[in-house]
């Protein structure tokens, strides 16, 4: 009986111990979670609620100490967002919850909307601390020296925004519906994106002040640059010919290689006319701000590599562009052909004067039949420039055009005699210099099948002439562009 009593007491105590432990465990578990109060919306101005992560706290689906909170962005990720160089990784704070322990958790979202959740913000409501801190997403800059006369250049690439992109939550593009392509804008503010450092101007339409916004300004206006066409202004320009292209005022010129059928460049023609709209036919005499019709603009080969020429044999070029395929907002295709440039090689073929004068320095070594570009350079001869530079033709074309070939040698008179720049002295102190005479009596002929891009040789005879090489007997032009 005594044994049974001991056994009963033992079991009773064990059961009591289990219940006690369970109770302690339950109480501990209950106390490990905080309770969050009601959600409240932050009332401060939106710009005062821009914050950035500090990296000390993670981002959660609900206040982090509340039961069921899950991680949206770990401390590591928040640390990366804290040191990011992108404005998209700033946060906007818009709500809060306060736990029964006095901890403030802010509801935040990144400027690009990628991360959204609650982050611990310290113990004081209205103060950003702990996991976030206040952020100044833009930095004020001095307005440019010139504030007026700006045009929107290419709104498809850079247009007006309510704020520089990602520096404010849900910054958006400004409607330009009522703006004219010829409208000028005035700069009234300047700022850089704090993280990226890129410059933006705030501009207002001079004809409609309801149209205003921020636009990327490149390096910004530089007062030391006198040629406004060379100003780096991003989406702005100080030239009306550089105004914004829209489907209502422009035509895209597409240059297509006739052989490969691939585009080699495009250009945008923008009308100076008002009240045009998409799918209107371009008028035959309608011009851009520079006074150029679409047809002539296309033939001018803007934005095409130098080694291409407009294929003038194509009806797309010989027939005016307004024949039906050039509508505002459309594309005008112009065929082009790859080209090559022919060059002249000036070669000393013979030397008429034997080396019997014991000249100093000895000239004999100067004449070995090599191309003049190798031995008669600016050091010892003055190479004249050719006035006619029309030596370019289609790469695949045979150079059998008599006119084109004649023009190649149109400077025969200029090339007839080339003056040397070296002075030679004999033992009696007499001075001499060389003159190089071309054979101007013979007309050079083309080999059958010769094409553009090949080199043509002009033979010269070097003769010794009394007198020093001075400015009076040397050519003044030292252009050597046409040397082979």
pLDDT in tens, 99-111: 999 999 999 999 9
In angstroms, the Cα distances linking 313 to 81, 309, 318, 335, 336 are: 59, 11, 7, 9, 10
Q: Taking 60 as the threshold, does the pLDDT of residue 14 lie above it?
A: no
Which two three-digit tokens encode residue 117? Answer: 């959740």
pLDDT band at 374 (very low <50, low <70, confident <90, very high): very low
Question: What's the confidence (pLDDT) of residue 84?
Answer: 98
The three-state secondary structure class of 242 is helix
Q: In terms of Cα–Cα distance, which of 377, 365, 349 is closest to 484?
A: 377
Q: How much is the pTM? A: 0.52
58 contacts: CB under 8 Å, gap ≥ 6? 64, 71, 72, 73, 74, 75, 77, 78, 119, 131
Q: What is the DSSP letter of 259?
A: T
Strand partners, 436: 418, 462
Question: What's the confidence (pLDDT) of residue 467?
Answer: 83
Question: What's the confidence (pLDDT) of residue 141?
Answer: 97
Query: Higher confidence at residue 157 or residue 198?
Result: 198
Question: What's the confidence (pLDDT) of residue 70?
Answer: 98
Query: Higher confidence at residue 96 or residue 349?
Result: 96
Q: Taking 80 as the threshold, does the pLDDT of residue 266 lie above it?
A: yes
Q: What is the C-alpha to C-alpha distance for residues 163 and 170, in angstroms, rounded to an integer?
A: 9
Query: Higher confidence at residue 434 or residue 407?
Result: 434
**What is the average pLDDT score of the chain?**
77
Q: Taking 70 as the threshold, does the pLDDT of residue 377 lie above it?
A: no
Question: What's the confidence (pLDDT) of residue 395?
Answer: 57
Contact (CB, 8 A) for 282 and 251: yes
Strand partners, 51: 91, 134
Question: What's the confidence (pLDDT) of residue 448?
Answer: 46
Range with top average pLDDT, 22-31, 137-146, 379-388: 137-146
| Range with lowest mean pLDDT among 18-22, 48-52, 314-318 | 18-22
Question: What's the confidence (pLDDT) of residue 284?
Answer: 81
Q: From the CB of residue 199, how many other CB atoms can be counted at a distance below 10 Å? A: 21
In angstroms, the Cα distances linking 158 to 122, 200, 277 are: 40, 11, 21
pLDDT tens for each residue of 296-349 = 888 877 677 777 888 766 665 555 555 555 888 888 888 888 876 555 555 566
Buried b / exposed e over 164-174, threshold 16 CB at 10 Å, is bbbbbbebeeb
Contact (CB, 8 A) for 357 and 351: no
Contact (CB, 8 A) for 158 and 215: yes
pLDDT band at 351 (very low <50, low <70, confident <90, very high): low
pLDDT tens for each residue of 116-134 = 999 999 999 999 999 999 9
């Amino acid at each position: 009986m005594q044994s049974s009593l001991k056994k009963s007491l033992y079991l009773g105590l064990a059961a009591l111990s289990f219940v006690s432990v369970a109770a302690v465990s339950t109480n501990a578990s209950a106390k490990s979670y905080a309770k969050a109060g009601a959600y409240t919306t932050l009332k401060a101005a939106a710009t005062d609620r821009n914050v950035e992560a500090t990296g000390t706290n993670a981002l959660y689906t609900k206040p982090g100490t509340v039961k069921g909170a899950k991680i949206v962005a770990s401390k590591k990720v928040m640390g990366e967002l804290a040191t990011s160089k992108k404005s998209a990784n700033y946060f906007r704070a818009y709500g809060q919850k306060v736990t029964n322990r006095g901890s403030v958790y802010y509801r935040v979202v990144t400027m690009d909307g990628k991360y959204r959740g609650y982050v611990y913000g310290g113990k004081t409501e209205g103060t950003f601390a702990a996991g976030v801190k206040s952020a100044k997403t833009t930095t004020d800059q001095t307005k440019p020296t010139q504030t007026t006369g700006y045009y929107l250049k290419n709104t498809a690439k850079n247009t007006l925004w309510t704020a520089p992109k990602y520096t404010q939550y849900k910054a958006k593009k400004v409607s330009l519906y009522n703006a004219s392509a010829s409208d000028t804008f005035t700069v009234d503010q300047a700022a850089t994106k704090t993280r990226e450092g890129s410059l933006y101007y705030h501009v207002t339409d001079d004809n409609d002040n309801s149209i205003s916004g921020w636009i990327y300004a490149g390096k910004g206006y530089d007062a030391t640059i006198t040629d406004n066409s060379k100003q780096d202004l991003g989406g702005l320009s100080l030239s009306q010919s550089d105004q914004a292209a829209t489907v209502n005022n422009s035509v895209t010129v597409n240059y297509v290689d006739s052989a490969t059928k691939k585009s080699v460049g495009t250009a945008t023609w923008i009308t100076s006319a008002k009240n045009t709209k998409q799918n209107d036919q371009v008028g035959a005499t309608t011009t851009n701000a520079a006074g150029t019709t679409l047809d002539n603009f296309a033939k001018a080969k803007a934005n095409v590599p130098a080694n291409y020429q407009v294929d003038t044999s194509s009806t797309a070029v010989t027939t005016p562009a307004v024949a039906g395929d050039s509508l505002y907002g459309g594309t005008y295709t112009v065929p082009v052909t790859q080209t090559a440039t022919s060059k002249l090689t000036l070669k000393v073929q013979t030397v008429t004067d034997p080396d019997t004068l014991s000249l100093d320095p000895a000239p004999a070594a100067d004449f070995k039949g090599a191309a003049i570009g190798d031995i008669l350079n600016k050091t010892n001869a003055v190479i004249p420039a050719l006035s006619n530079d029309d030596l370019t033709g289609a790469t695949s074309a045979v150079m059998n055009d008599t006119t084109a070939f004649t023009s190649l040698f149109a400077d025969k008179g200029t090339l007839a005699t080339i003056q040397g720049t070296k002075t030679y002295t004999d033992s009696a102190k007499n001075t001499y210099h060389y003159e190089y005479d071309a054979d101007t009596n013979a007309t050079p002929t083309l080999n059958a099948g010769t094409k553009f891009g090949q080199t043509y040789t002009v033979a010269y005879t070097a003769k010794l002439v009394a007198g020093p090489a001075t400015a009076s007997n040397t050519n003044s032009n030292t252009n050597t562009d046409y040397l082979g």
